[in-house]
Amino acid sequence: MARILFTVPPLTGHLNPALAVADALSRQGHELAWAVHAAQIGDKLPEGARVYALDHGDGADPGIAAPQVRGLESVRLFFEDYALPLAERVLAPMEAAVRDFSPDAMVVDHQMLGGALVARKLGVPWVSQVTTSASILKMSPVLDAWVAEQYLALQRRYLPEDLIVERPDFSPHRVIVFSIETLPGDRHARVDAPYAFVGPVRGEGRRQIEFPWEWLRQDRRKLLVSLGTVSRDRDTRFFEVVMEAVSGMPEVQAVLVAPESLAASAPDNVLVRGYVPQTELLRHVDGVICHAGHNTVCEALSCGLPMIVAPIRDDQPVIARQVIDAGAALFVRQGKVTAAAMRTAIANLLGTPSLADSARRLSQELLAAPGAPGAARIILALAAAAPASLELA
């Protein structure tokens, strides 16, 4: 049996894929441990999980703030205020955890840089887990140089010179991407790394959420509108524009995942809910309007649904572009789109067969991907390989 150590940042989108892979491994009896911020995500780990806490307990652990920031600025803030300080702070407890657990292999989220540096320093075989199809792409010469510079300073404080590399977040052994290769496509250069595209992990038994299914009508075209959990409460303008657009489209029904205060001003054919059973609801709708978050995009595409994408921040603009290039999405500008433009986009979404055709094509690929069990096989193969041969990888 193999000993596998997982480390991910305390962010749901990064924890969930790791949980699915861990589940596949623990079913086979492998011994797992987690090096995580226990105060933030300890309660989401499986019962009885072996946990090495990375928290300092001083209330100063970095968090994702500034929800109003958009575009490139959110990328800069993510590195400067989150990923890099987080890495610096976890190095000592991470190294102690790895020395104590002595894993045969580590699974390190590519934004959990501290785990990558410790694996490198101690010579533990490791895979990177990359949670979206955007993070593997090179950005622009200026940005890539800036990122490398940020990483370099951190590495110099912790690693001997001969272990320093340009992109320490990517494993030289294996980089598992929870997406399909068609989404990044070949239009943009990738960071050079040994990729394995395993597709998204499937929804693993979320909690039950009430939904008034009888509200949905057979004789209407139906839309799910969601900006994801992070941006749901950002501001209400976008939802108001959607409501105004849909109010003039009696043939359409729309479910908005939005602050419930908007329900009072919703037209008859719009339902506002704070939470929805998204995976199940997607089976009942004809299209999706979303922020191009990777989870929502993969879930919608898995159901063969075309979408309107209104990206806001982080990697969303890149993912949005990928789905548009794959022929399954239309673009609207989040903070600028007018009701008239939204109405046109919705009419095009529902009236353009090629969008749905492309979405169905992608759904076949997504459903055929090996998912978490495939990722588990890759990790086990790495754990079983002799460390000497890994040096060459």
Partner 1 sequence: MSKHYDDILSLVIGKIRSTINEDWIQDFEIEGETRFNTDLEIESIEFVKIADAIQAHYGTQLDIVGWLSGKSIHELIGLSVGELASFIAGAVPEQG
143 binds partner 1 (CB under 8 A): yes
Q: 3-class SS at 75?
A: helix
Residues that contact partner 1, how many (by CB under 8 A): 22
Nearer to partner 1, 80 or 391 (CB): 80
Residue 126 contacts by C-beta under 8 Å, 6 or more apart in sequence?
105, 106, 107, 108, 115, 116, 119, 171, 173, 382
Q: Are 356 and 330 in contact (CB under 8 A)?
A: no
333 binds partner 1 (CB under 8 A): yes
Write down the least CB distance from residue 72 to partner 1, Å.
5
Closest alpha carbon to 368 in 280, 302, 283: 302
317 binds partner 1 (CB under 8 A): yes
Residue 25 contacts by C-beta under 8 Å, 6 or more apart in sequence?
2, 4, 32, 376, 379, 380
340 binds partner 1 (CB under 8 A): yes
Write down the least CB distance from residue 291 to partner 1, Å.
13
60 binds partner 1 (CB under 8 A): no
Q: Are 229 and 210 in contact (CB under 8 A)?
A: no
Closest alpha carbon to 76 in 17, 13, 140, 123: 140
Query: What is the C-alpha separation between 127 and 4, in angstroms, rounded?
Result: 11
Site string for partner 1, 266-305 (x = CB under 8 A): ----------------------------------------
Instruction: Give the residue, chosen from 336, 364, 368, 387, that forms a contact with partner 1 under the rule CB under 8 A.
Output: 336
226 binds partner 1 (CB under 8 A): no
**Residue 135: both structure tokens together:** 């993070």
**98: which DSSP letter?**
H
Query: What is the C-alpha separation between 97 and 118, in angstroms, rounded?
Result: 10
Nearer to partner 1, 4 or 349 (CB): 349
313 binds partner 1 (CB under 8 A): no
**Residue 119: both structure tokens together:** 């694996």
Q: Which stretch binds partner 1 (CB under 8 A): 115-123, 135-143, 154-162, 204-212?
A: 135-143
146 binds partner 1 (CB under 8 A): yes
63 binds partner 1 (CB under 8 A): no
Nearer to partner 1, 14 or 70 (CB): 70
The site for partner 1 (CB under 8 A) is made up of 70-73, 76, 139-143, 146, 311, 317, 321, 333-338, 340-341
